[in-house]
Chain A
Amino acid sequence: MIFYDIAAMALIGIGHLYLFSLLIDYKKFSLGYVLVIGVLLTFFVGISITLTGLVELNVVLLSLFLVLIGLMNKKLKPLTVIYFALCSMVLFTVIKNGLFSLVRGLYIESPFNYYSWTDSALHFWTLVVLVLAMYIARKKIEQIGRYMVASRWYIPSFILAIVCTLLLLVINYPTISLLAQINALYSKQIYSIILLLSVLLMLIVTISVYMSKERLIEEHEMMLQSQLIDYVNKLELMHDDLATFRHDYMNLLLSLEEGIRTKNIEQIEQIYDNTIAPTTAIINDQQLELVKLSRVKIPEIKSVLSVKIVTAQHKQLQVSVDIPHDIRHVYIPTNDFIRMISILIDNATEEASKSTNKLIQIALFETDPETQYCVVKNSTDAEALDLQSMYNKSYSTKGEQRGYGLFSIKRLLAQHANMTLSTSLESQMFTQTVLLKMDRS
């Protein structure tokens, strides 16, 4: 019996911590780490409660502990950490208690014998099942964590979580007289209210996850569409320019012919200086960089690239594109490629527009049929960068709430073994080179 109780206590601590670490998506915790800290947490809480006799410490210490651990992860905002701490605590406690009551009820109804240790054993096994279930559904839970923060139900669910925590404080046989009184008077009601509220909380979480998923997909589609429209517009514009040029060109030839016929070298010179020489500007025009995208045979990538290039050109950057051969496929999923190249070019654009030279170079090519390169270079005024820490979640030279770009590139790297990224800064050019090997598996 004592074994079951101690193990159950440890499992409670582990469960809280595990749910929390899943929700905040903190990869640094290995499973073993969670186990050890969870056990420590339980005994710490247990000892402090027996020493002080204050049962309230249970909830308070637990939430404090979770928040502290969350804050160790500096990439998260404190408010988000508190939110997830409360959420995970309330949800875990309620689900655990609910499940336990259910199992116990069922057991008593069943023909099995009821011993004095049955409760402890049931408690323990419920917890085991719960923790295992969390482990199995860990991917889903992580996802939920990511969606929740962006969801518009964030604030209502936050309030709900706070209310639930306060109610938990009351229901937990408090020793402070005021709370104890309330507990004595309304404990039954409060219990059902908590159940109701947490069911509501869970409902909100699931609905909002579903909704934000829809929203994200919708946004993505809208973005693709608008990019395509941008591209088509730009192409039309270029076509008009070329048509005008052709028209002018015919006239030019006619007047030149006249000059040659009359052997009037002055007239020829004049025509050359005034009319022909300026056309080099048209031929070297930045807009023609877009034409080089015709070698990209993947429409989504082409449209994203065109938009990024046009945006950079709008910022008065000189963009050069180098795509020597047709690109018919990329060696990572198209979505991931788009994400990667968008981040690289966005960063390059931002940095280049602050630099004196205002240059961007984009290259996409294969050196052999198995190796693809994607190079994005930009001019910069920076002398040195801490290349190592650039890829942390919070690192950004651009101020708060940025830094996610390179971090998500790092995530892509972790997902694709055939992807290699090299980053360098040399003679005021910042270069990101992505190497993709053909996936033979």
Chain B
Amino acid sequence: MSIFILEDDVFQAQSLKRSIEEICLAQHIPYNFIEATSRYEHIINKIPSCTYLPIYFLDIEIKHEERKGLEVAQEIRKVDPHGIIVFVTTHSELASISYQYMVSALTFIEKDQPHPERMQKIAACLQHYVTKNKVEHKEDYFFVENAYTSVKVPFHTIEYIMTDDPHRLKLITTNQLIQLYGSLKELEQIDSRLIRCHKSYLVNVQQMKELDVSGQQVILMSGKQVPVSRRMMKKMKAILKDR
């Protein structure tokens, strides 16, 4: 386990390092090293030698450059797309949604939070880190990338896709509704696990639970229903059986 801290204030860096050490000791989390530095080049240079997925605690404001931390995060992402990035920041900069999108940051730790809450938050980050390192599975994403849109969702959450207004689609996942421009034909070709069960529906094989033959529909894990055209009934039966 490799832990990096980027912080230009020596006291704060040491304090954060101590907190992490305490937590690791208390929760029996083993680690290779904790590297606290104020120079980001150190971090970038050291990434290739890490045996495990690293976790980074980055101060956003380094040497009075307001968004230095973000730039560093983007640099890190170039070398390490999967490592966990946690921003450490003062209160006013909190809730930066944009950071989460730009470098897929895990979360934020506020510097001016009371000590116990801070410790809790750091512990949560480390816990997340441990679980992520244990389950070494590649995230399976569904991408739609064209001139009109960029959609990225974990594939297993997709329930179904249906047509909407002319040339618009609705992509329904377990907790999201995405309304995008495109055609079923186009999305169908992206992933073979999406089955055209009806003229205007694509369904995710992984989310199907059972076939309601008389109702001409397929029932999903969540209980939602997707219509199946008569022509496709046979094929759907076969697919469900093979699975």
Contact = CB atoms under 8 A, between A and B. Distances in A.
Contact of A420 (B91, B151, B165, B166): B151
Interface in B66-83: 67, 70
A365 B176 contact: no
A322 interface: yes
Contacts of A322: 95-98
Interface stretch (A91-99, A154-162, A409-417): A409-417
B177 A367 contact: no
A420 B177 contact: no
Nearest to B146: A437
Nearest to A323: B98
B175 interface: yes
A367 B147 contact: no
Contacts of B166: 414
Interface stretch (A10-18, A136-144, A241-249, A422-430): A422-430
B119 to A, nearest CB: 21
A324 B73 CA distance: 15
Contacts of B92: 283-284, 288
Interface stretch (B31-39, B178-186, B204-212): B178-186
A379 B179 CA distance: 22
Given A365-B101, A388-B172, A414-B165, A420 B179 contact: yes
A322 B70 CA distance: 14
Contacts of B181: 417-420
Contacts of A418: 147-149, 181
A151 interface: no
Nearest to B181: A417
A172 interface: no
Contacts of B151: 420, 422, 435
A373 B147 contact: no
A257 to B, nearest CB: 24
B141 to A, nearest CB: 14
A418 B146 CA distance: 10
B79 to A, nearest CB: 19
A367 B98 CA distance: 8
A288 B165 CA distance: 41
B97 A284 contact: no
B39 to A, nearest CB: 23
B232 interface: no
Interface residues of A, number: 36
B10 interface: no
Contacts of B67: 324
Interface in B82-128: 91-92, 94-99, 101-102, 112
Interface in A363-396: 363, 365, 367, 371, 373, 375, 377, 387-388, 390-391
Interface residues of B, number: 31
B170 interface: yes
Nearest to A361: B95
Given A322-B96, A375-B97, A414-B165, A388 B177 contact: yes
A126 to B, nearest CB: 33
Given A410-B179, A418-B181, A320 B168 contact: no
A363 B98 contact: yes
A425 B175 contact: yes
Interface string B185-203: 0000000000000000000
Nearest to B70: A324
Given A417-B148, A437-B147, A424 B97 contact: no
B45 interface: no
Nearest to A364: B98
Given A284-B92, A367-B101, A424 B176 contact: yes
A413 B91 contact: no
B243 interface: no
Contacts of A314: none
B63 interface: no
B224 to A, nearest CB: 9
A361 B93 CA distance: 12
Given A422-B177, A423-B176, 5 more contacts: A324-B96, A363-B98, A413-B165, A418-B148, A426-B175
21 contacts: A280-B112, A284-B92, A320-B94, A322-B97, A322-B98, A324-B70, A324-B98, A367-B102, A377-B97, A387-B172, A388-B172, A388-B177, A414-B165, A420-B149, A420-B151, A420-B180, A422-B176, A423-B178, A424-B175, A435-B150, A437-B149
Interface of A: 280, 283-284, 288, 320, 322-324, 361, 363, 365, 367, 371, 373, 375, 377, 387-388, 390-391, 410, 413-414, 417-426, 435, 437, 440
Listed from nearest, the 10 A-B pairs whose CB atoms lie closest are A363-B97, A365-B98, A387-B177, A424-B176, A417-B181, A422-B178, A414-B165, A320-B95, A420-B180, A420-B149
